Structure 1
Amino acid sequence: MRVWDPWIRLVHWGLALLVPLAWVTITQHWFRLHTLIGYSVLTLVVFRLLWGLFGSESAQFRSFLKPPLQGLRHLSHLHRREADREVTHNAAGGWIVVAFLLLLGAQASLGLFSNDDSFQAGPLRFLVTKETSDWLTSWHYAIYWWIVGLVVLHVLAVLAYRVLKGQNLVRAMITGTKTLPPEVRGPRIAHPALGAALLALSAALVAGASYLG
């Protein structure tokens, strides 16, 4: 059954590539490339938020955001080996998605105002004072390590699902399909043109914000 459209997989694997590249480029002082990566991350985050409102059923926040207690109850069953019946993120995974989007969005947005105490600065640096820019820069760096911690937690969860429950979540995110019981209804998949339009809109919004500086 098809559960993940190409746009969801683009966001997932795109961010999986861009997050480590952001670290490499800043440690090597490739500031221009680092800035372009930040724009790309912010574009994907904005797009994912829009896709969570207007995209495929499995991507929509209303489809997978459950009460926190339901997420904890789901985790309490992690040790049970059982067939996968989810056509979207499970009750716990949905909150991980939200956490990733909030942290990545905040980190990339703060980068627009950051500086390196030298000649390099984000495009919106001159909209704030040097003291404010320094404070935002410190948070820009700090949030990155929160993201790394969340990545580690995510990878451990995926491994746990594979070992304990026998569910291959990585393959589903690669192929977009799952083997599910016949009584499970598949999600509605949005038209690809809608995804292209929303991605273009997201890129335009980020580009517009960068030019404000």
Structure 2
Amino acid sequence: MIKDNYRHKGKRQQLVNIVKKKGITSQSVIEAIGKIPRHLFMDSSFEDHAYQDKAFPIAADQTISQPYTVAFQTEKLEVEKGDKVLEIGTGSGYQTAVLCELGAKVYSIERQRELYKKTKSFLNKIGYRPKHLSFGDGYKGMPNYAPFDKIVVTAGAPYVPKALLGQLAVGGRMVIPVGDESQTMTLFIRKSLHEFDKTEFGEFRFVPLLEDKN
């Protein structure tokens, strides 16, 4: 049973206030954070943690990202309705839901099979339907569906995968946390076939982006 009551809504409003205080200004992103029942993306026994502004462990040694981080990455993407967005690391599906809420056509890829199966059925159940959800290696992206208007990487990448830059449309934006121990949030804007603008933001911490070892 999916329950989202007044108490949850009240806690979400507090969360919205926190991300606004931290500097998120995009109205559409703020509304998405205020609307999505984040507690449903976590084990019900940890419901009280759902609306705190922090990351939290989920299955397969992964985490559900800190709401501020999700809001920050999404704001930097500048998602517009109808944008084709590639998400690397479906995870709990929370970021996926935010992108769907913004009207994006979401293509998402998850490396952990157990998580992929669970999240796929869960997103359907709560009414968020990405265009395409796949199990596979995020470093390779989804060449069959490229180019993408926007690409968001939700795990720490030790380097920037060339395949992903190649799948970005000209004029497109990619937001990726780059680094080993801690990551620097990095924005790439594709100016032409061979030219990218790069902007670095502050440090963030993510679980590592896993390469396909098979």
Greater strand percent: which structure? 2
TM-score (norm 1): 0.26
Greater helix percent: which structure? 1
Structure number, greater radius of gyration: 1
TM-score (norm 2): 0.26
Higher relative contact order (CA 8 A, sep 6+): 1
